[in-house]
Chain A
């Protein structure tokens, strides 16, 4: 069997295991039960936790695929689980990027959201006052606090990244090259989220073209994030920068987000899919930047 065929076989086994376990055990029970994810913050912690548990399945899929195909469990180096962390040759930059990028694109996304929907600006919302108290300058601490809690609570993000970026993407890059791999890989990663998108986890359920436009938007967002995550994984040779970027991104560190109340959005501004295109624009710009940079400097090498 040629190397490419072996890699393809491993990739298929990984995807079958990951999709079967996650969709079967963690995501589809909600779809089957007709559960709709609450749009406010009062979602049940139990359901949050079950989803968090589902985030470990890609790593489980990777371990099982490695065991079944006798690929081994090398910790660092070529065809490894990429668990090493490197600082030499300026590789520490990728860790710094992992911490800062989510803040940059989240904050800029909020700026755009406020420009197109100024009615959501509410610096006196009750939830904010409850957290920071009467002293408004306390708000500056919130993104730092979210970044720190994202870094220290990165184990669930590791569960995803070790599977997607640590196993799936290197195989796809070997099979199809960087350009096709990030597109297909991002789409597959987005597809993995579809049951959650269906129950309203990402965009709610009250939007044009529900649920199909939600599926497309989720896949598009995963392609964009996938480009950034794959870039820093390939360049750093480690899964940790991607893990931190993913974890911090999930925390959504932003000052402006605290000063807004999305429930006040009126008209088409309240449609999550229509505003999605605007708020993720900074992410798109960054993704294109990393994609072009990789194709220009590294693709041939």
Chain B
């Protein structure tokens, strides 16, 4: 298993990513030490770097996870690694498991990295207001990365079973249909429907069901992991009797 994971790590140029992200993190740390912002009093500039840099690293890492999901399969297709792995004396589900574990590890590492960036920002900030905003942003990190894992849980069965090319076409087609639906609704739909959405209802719900939201926030990652595992089992079942994947 370690070998399969290392193969994927090399395939996405993992070493380069580790070095670049480590340097960026150290630069950000130095930046925060040199420019910790200010107290945000009248006449002073507010310190907005928290709401710029922390989401920036979140967006970058999410893009990397999304790209990695495609790359690890594409690399295998290119080098016939699937066929080679099948010929090795490995458990027949090892190959599929390695893909799921790799994306899982990557998501955990990038989630942790985003937390580190948030922690660096807050710990070295002189502006309490911006610290609070960043703390609120950090609160949504787990659901955001959970969503990435959910997307991977949907994509991986298709990528592994049908290959990158075919699954890519289907993925793009679905995305385009969704886009057309949105554009179509904006152009020809009844936009008055949107006016009936009352944000205060949501705010009121959040105020009266605070504990339910806490429970939802905590159980969401567990639910995502269960779906991720079921996705893995499904992929194994679909590919059970296939001689060679892809």
Contact = CB atoms under 8 A, between A and B. Distances in A.
A45 B127 CA distance: 12
Contacts of A250: none
Contact of A148 (B2, B131, B222): B222
B189 interface: no
B218 A46 contact: no
Contacts, number: 55
Contacts of B120: 53
A141 B222 CA distance: 14
A152 B215 contact: no
A49 B218 contact: no
A49 B117 CA distance: 11
A145 B221 CA distance: 11
A133 B210 contact: yes
A47 B125 CA distance: 10
B122 A145 contact: no
B227 interface: no
A156 B138 CA distance: 14
A158 interface: yes
A45 B135 contact: yes
- Contact residues on B (Cβ < 8 Å of other chain), bracket: 20 to 34
Contact of B215 (A46, A75, A145): A145
B218 A145 contact: yes
B116 interface: yes
B64 interface: no
Nearest to B33: A25
Contacts of A75: 2
A49 B219 contact: no
Interface of A: 45-47, 49-50, 52-53, 56, 75-76, 84, 131-133, 135, 138, 141, 144-145, 148-149, 152-153, 155-156, 158
24 contacts: A45-B122, A45-B131, A46-B122, A46-B123, A46-B125, A46-B131, A49-B122, A49-B123, A52-B119, A53-B119, A131-B214, A138-B211, A141-B211, A144-B218, A145-B214, A145-B215, A148-B219, A148-B222, A149-B218, A152-B142, A155-B115, A155-B116, A156-B115, A158-B112
